[in-house]
Structure 1
Amino acid sequence: MSVSELERPEVRVVTHGLFIDGREVAASHPELLDVRNPATGEVVARIGHADASDVDRAIRSARRAFRSREWGGMPLRERAKLVNKLADAFEAHLDELYQLETMNNGRPVNETRAQLRRLPDFFRYNAGLALARRDSVIPVEGDYLNYTQRTPIGVVGNCTPFNHPLMIMCKSLAPVFASGCVTVVKPSEYTPLTTLRLAQIFTEAGLPDGVFNVVTGLGPTTGKYLAEHPGLNKLVLTGGTEAGQIAGALAGRNFARQTLELGGKTPVLVFPDFDVDQAVNYAAFGAFIGAGQTCVCASRHIVHRDIYDEFVEKLATKAKSIRIGDPTDPDTQLGPVISEKQRQRVLDYARIGLDEGARLVAGGQVPESLAEAGGFFVEPTVFADVSPEMRIFQEEVFGPFTSVTPFSTEEEAIQLANNSPFGLAAAIRTKDVARAHRVAAAIDCGIVWVNDHHRLDPASPWGGVKLSGTGREFGSESFDEHFDVKSVMVNMTDKPFDWYQDSTGPRRLN
């Protein structure tokens, strides 16, 4: 059933304030921003537009909580127990959250349900890291005991995108809470609803006031105020490379730590020993899940010439078979992109690909059956015969859009894969174990999938190189980045010391 065929019930538009110090509060400025359902284009909520004074309020609230006995003085095991309780609370509200997320960002409900049910494990894993944490005793020269102490860094600003609102936020929230830090979250203005709801759920579950604050608004205003605030100790941002460069420069003025997960142009190298049908199935999954609005979208398929024509033909057929429609319908396989602006971007790149001489083999248009639906639908789009100098090979589209480029040798495939300013993820399709390891080592990126795509785990580090950002999320790497390390050097002797009087024998200055 298409969205245009639905009997739409009257939409109740809810107005939301900010979430500061454990409760919803009005923004200082009366301006409200519309939040739309991307499947219908209808306004479903209105949110506050936080200004600099609102961001300051939120950071001050977070700082008070960080220094409080209730949170800052909470024993380690009690904090780990609370973080596990938050995971339980998340699970108890799972149905509500995945339905709200589907309505707000347009992903098919089957995708949303499959993604959100994994998020409680993010918190449980980090609670385990907190319990297992050990500081170091370091062997040093002389009669000294040297050990380290780790203390949580403080206030973490978290700017989240529209494509995976809860998942991307939770991969930051989990180490924040488990380490004893506090946070101010600025969600995308397109998808703030599940973030605001989760703040309420966690507060009701026992998270102290001020530990989790939410300021809504636009990136160039609210996001800027957060990134440049001198009270911020760490900035975590997932978004476009340009936004990351701007926010990172602002945060850098105050020497705030940064974890930036930015753009991507994921190459997928398909070798001739791999089953073509399976390669096509992975290609469709990698390119079109989430309507292609993922930083690790399989956007550049680099395919051996021996199987190139067969791969292109079958991928085009697969793309045309995907069911597009109402994301709340369990039979829907592809929902809308987030906005009319994003849909137009995809359509513009389809035109650019044609102008550059690439061969359009699927999609590139608004589905005819959904043209009057009011939502922001676009067909899964596949271009073949794409060369590396083309813009559709080099630039991130962020939609259901992929390209196919032939190669002849392993060296050429690696060269094509690395011919990009981005370096977030890559994928390899081969049954040759030695080749898989060899090629994985040669690709410039932070994540490689061999015979798979999109897989993650709370224990596995996630992040990129080059223009895809800096730092790592997930794993002990992310948890450890929420601490300052203090070195304590203890003299274990009672020998008299007077540097300026005792000049006998060899002396040690350092």
Structure 2
Amino acid sequence: MTEVNIPTGLRIGGRIVSGHGPRLDVVNPSTGGVLAVADSADAADVEEVVRVAQAAFDSGVWSRMPIHERSRVLHRFADGIAERMDDLYRLETANNGRPLTETKAQITRLPEWYRYNASLLLADRDSVVPMPGPYHSYTSRLPLGVVTILASFNHPMMIASKSLAPALATGNSVVLKPSEQTPLTAMLLADIAHEAGIPDGVLNVINGLGPVVGAALCEHPLVKKVVFTGGTEPGRSIAVAAAQRFAKTTLELGGKSPVLFFDDTPVDVAARGAAFGGFIGAGQTCIAGSRLIVQRGLHDEFVETLAKVAESIRIGDPADPATQLGPVISAQARDRILGRIADGVDAGARVVTGGGPATVPGLENGFFVQPTVLADVTNNMTVAREEIFGPVVVVIPFDDEDEAVAIANDSPFALGSAVWTRDIARGHRVASRLEAGMVWVNDHHRLDPSSPWGGLKESGIGREGGWESFHDFTHVRAVTVRTAPDDVDWYGGIATGRLN
């Protein structure tokens, strides 16, 4: 990592500047040591960056750039990301502790998001409205203005790019605030954008504490949309702040995804699928398949087999390609996860495997947690209802399809869900009954730039991906042209027309 020159200042209007907030340690979670010391912003820096972004928007240098040229710049940006991929995935692994193989598999797809949205920009068409009378009515779209994206620590580049790509494609100016725990790849991303020809002030990156910088961005009157990925309670506060001025929001919040396993699924297939859904990224994802709802005829053998799979997972240095499970993000996160496991045991849950910290030789100060399987769980226990955000899954038995769906839907969250069955009709049928923004059948975690991603209930509002996200970074405008040869003279004679 030493050969990658990473700016740790703020990027405002094309310049790298020092922040006026406290300098923040960026910690390597696999060692507990300081990876870098980054600048952070204060309220005055937020005011400056928003004003700079607004000035860039008002200038039209990007917002009114011909769409074919804007699309070409975004393709160059995608090319630049691909060229720097090795630096990006190694830096991200060091910063958030996700195993190198996982990180590489995820962020090698980043250029797709920019290419897809650059293509949507050229494919988008206005609509003609069939208004009666001598009128030609049509719609057009215009960018919002300044957009802020508040990304999270678990997938810093992917989460930022899912919204950054459509926000830029549609002509907005962006202020990106990464998590203060994982700001480094965002700073490198801004360098790549600058080199690709995205004009100064169009993409700005500022680091800082959420209650200071994030709150100031959410409350700023010039910010026309806020995108946030994180916990439900901060998301609720952001929604209130944005609503005060009728700004748009996309909020991807907490989850407790139910994964339904029917007894026609081979037990080894079910166990491997459960491990992938629950332990990938050390379980630090809102979409983690952490609530395993298993048909009773499969249940006991499933629990036993899943425990063996969990115990076989290689925990270690995330920079080692052989590692399958890295650390959680911080000592605080590790202690919180272990506390949630203890609370579950106190409520009657049984630890089948795991349940404690993991020790990695040479990385004794890292924040590692054993992959944990809890059985004898009922859906009213806290461990089954609240997000743990760690490598912990709970197993709940069911008898029939109706009971499985009832348990799955009995949750305040509704981000994702999954169904495992060899009966394809049942797969479709159950998917149609699940209250969730996304359902996978015989898989988990899959996403694509063309597919809308987001939740219901307390899992948030809005969508990332697809036309749904692309258009939500714009306002729709109706244009009506009178085509009659005579003039409008409502008061000059007998009024026989209609007003609406």
CA RMSD of aligned residues (A): 1.7
Match of 1:27 among 3, 13, 19: 19
SS of the residue corresponding to residue 417 of structure 2 reads strand
Where does residue 273 of structure 1 map in the other structure?
Answer: 264
SS of the residue corresponding to residue 328 of structure 1 reads coil
Where does residue 446 of structure 2 map in the other structure?
Answer: 455
SS of the residue corresponding to residue 158 of structure 1 reads strand
Where does residue 36 of structure 1 map in the other structure?
Answer: 27
**Once the 2 structures are TM-superposed, how far is the Cα of residue 294 of structure 1 from its aligned partner?**
0.5
Q: Assess if the C-alpha contact under 8 Å between 1:162 and 1:190 holds in 2.
A: yes
> Are 1:475 and 2:475 matched, yes or no?
no
Where does residue 225 of structure 2 map in the other structure?
Answer: 234
Where does residue 486 of structure 2 map in the other structure?
Answer: 495
Match of 1:179 among 170, 175, 184: 170
Looking at structure 2, the residues matched to 172 and 475 of structure 1 have their Cα atoms a distance apart, in angstroms, of 11
Deviations 1:179-211 (A, max 9, x none): 111100111011000001110111012111011
Where does residue 261 of structure 1 map in the other structure?
Answer: 252
Q: Assess if the C-alpha contact under 8 Å between 2:67 and 2:121 holds in 1.
A: yes
Looking at structure 1, the residues matched to 360 and 152 of structure 2 have their Cα atoms a distance apart, in angstroms, of 29
| Count of aligned pairs | 500
Where does residue 313 of structure 1 map in the other structure?
Answer: 304
Deviates most, 72-81 or 393-402: 72-81
Where does residue 3 of structure 1 map in the other structure?
Answer: none
Deviations 1:364-400 (A, max 9, x none): 1012445961110010011011101100000000000
Residue type matched to 1:49 in 2? S
SS of the residue corresponding to residue 245 of structure 1 reads helix
Matches within 5 A, 1:112-261: 112-261=103-252
Looking at structure 2, the residues matched to 496 and 82 of structure 1 have their Cα atoms a distance apart, in angstroms, of 45
Match of 1:304 among 280, 291, 295: 295
SS of the residue corresponding to residue 223 of structure 2 reads coil
Deviates most, 483-492 or 261-270: 483-492
> How has the CA–CA distance of structure 1 residues 207 and 10 changed in structure 2, closer, same or farther, with 3 Å as cutoff?
closer
> Are 1:49 and 2:40 matched, yes or no?
yes
Matches within 5 A, 1:315-394: 315-369=306-360, 373-394=364-385
Q: Assess if the C-alpha contact under 8 Å between 1:414 and 1:442 holds in 2.
A: yes
Deviates most, 471-480 or 202-211: 202-211
**Once the 2 structures are TM-superposed, how far is the Cα of residue 324 of structure 1 from its aligned partner?**
0.5
Where does residue 508 of structure 1 map in the other structure?
Answer: 498
**Once the 2 structures are TM-superposed, how far is the Cα of residue 44 of structure 1 from its aligned partner?**
1.1
Residue type matched to 1:265 in 2? K
Looking at structure 1, the residues matched to 326 and 499 of structure 2 have their Cα atoms a distance apart, in angstroms, of 68
List runs of 5+ in structure 1 lacking aligned partners. Answer: 1-8
SS of the residue corresponding to residue 194 of structure 1 reads helix
SS of the residue corresponding to residue 16 of structure 1 reads coil
SS of the residue corresponding to residue 368 of structure 2 reads coil
Residue type matched to 1:388 in 2? N
Where does residue 60 of structure 1 map in the other structure?
Answer: 51
Percent identity of paired positions between Structure 1 and Structure 2: 53
> How has the CA–CA distance of structure 1 residues 470 and 191 changed in structure 2, closer, same or farther, with 3 Å as cutoff?
same
Deviates most, 91-100 or 56-65: 56-65
> How has the CA–CA distance of structure 1 residues 493 and 17 changed in structure 2, closer, same or farther, with 3 Å as cutoff?
same
SS of the residue corresponding to residue 233 of structure 1 reads strand
Q: Assess if the C-alpha contact under 8 Å between 1:11 and 1:44 holds in 2.
A: no
Q: TM-score, normalization: structure 1? A: 0.96
Deviations 1:248-285 (A, max 9, x none): 21122121100000000000000011111111111001
Looking at structure 1, the residues matched to 488 and 95 of structure 2 have their Cα atoms a distance apart, in angstroms, of 69
Looking at structure 2, the residues matched to 310 and 278 of structure 1 have their Cα atoms a distance apart, in angstroms, of 12
**Once the 2 structures are TM-superposed, how far is the Cα of residue 501 of structure 1 from its aligned partner?**
3.6
Where does residue 76 of structure 2 map in the other structure?
Answer: 85
List runs of 5+ in structure 2 lacking aligned partners. Answer: none
Looking at structure 1, the residues matched to 43 and 468 of structure 2 have their Cα atoms a distance apart, in angstroms, of 32
Looking at structure 1, the residues matched to 300 and 25 of structure 2 have their Cα atoms a distance apart, in angstroms, of 46
Where does residue 61 of structure 2 map in the other structure?
Answer: 70
**Once the 2 structures are TM-superposed, how far is the Cα of residue 349 of structure 1 from its aligned partner?**
0.9
Looking at structure 2, the residues matched to 470 and 33 of structure 1 have their Cα atoms a distance apart, in angstroms, of 31
Where does residue 436 of structure 1 map in the other structure?
Answer: 427
Q: Assess if the C-alpha contact under 8 Å between 1:13 and 1:44 holds in 2.
A: no
Q: Assess if the C-alpha contact under 8 Å between 2:416 and 2:436 holds in 1.
A: yes
